[in-house]
Amino acid sequence: MSMDALETNTVLALPGQVTAVALEIPKSIDYETWAAIGSGLKNVEQSIMFWIGDWLTYGEGRFSDRWTQVLSESEYSLRTIQNAMWLSKRIPPERRRADVSYSHHLLVAALEPDEQEKWLRIAADEDLTREALRDRLRADKAEKTHVSAHDRSMPKDKAHRDQSLRDDAEHEDCIRCGAPNAVSAHYSGVGKHLLGGGMTLKTHDIATAHLCHKCHTEFDSYEATNSYERGWEFLVMILKTLVRRIEKGTVIVK
């Protein structure tokens, strides 16, 4: 099938000459048309990651043996591409909202479909920022699990493991690079035995940092676990995560 035979639409229709590096607008257009161009460009900016996710997901399903070849040509990080594809699969087009940003959709992608619809609707109706939606999601989870800030504190005789510390990365960004969907990554660097770690034993749950998959992998590589420099960086990330936990009440300082 030729490109001319493919069904097209006017979503990207723009007046004048459009090139890879310029939009040459005719001098004769009126103000309303000019303003409409700006609205259209803003819509493109907000939509591009949805489109990329759907495009890659289609390629994965249709061209399973070749689709990854295009990744080497992308300027996006692997984490960004993974998030776009994950969202594409978790939230189909009919459940997405044009009045809520891509970042808002990422925050609710892990939820069940009815919960996704609920929180996207709330975000739109109440004009919530991404940060405000994240706070509401945290509060909702705490209420559903009946876990108060006091209940999440760590008494002195707390056991080696603490589920609240392992779970509190949900809806958090990576403390190191800012990517979404962080996890609580246990320290794996030099001296981990001093923090409860061993050959087959993870360190104490307090010795964890909110890291994305990419950063977690970098810290867990063989070179990193035997590097004092990378070990110090990991410990700094753990301290920054501890500050975050204190600020949101996961850890109570008395």
- Could you read off the pLDDT of 205-254 as tens digits, one per residue? 999 999 999 999 999 887 777 788 888 999 999 999 999 999 888 888 87
Tally the domains of the chain: 3
Same domain, 112 and 35: no
Residue 123 located in a structural domain: yes
Asked whether 222 and 233 are in contact (CB, 8 A), the reply is no
Q: Which domain holds residue 37?
A: 1-90
Residue 253 located in a structural domain: no
Residue 154 in this model has a pLDDT that exceeds 50: no
Does pTM surpass 0.75? no
Buried b (16+ CB within 10 A) or exposed e, 1-29: eeeeeeeeeeeeeeeeeeeeeeeeeeeee
Same domain, 79 and 24: yes
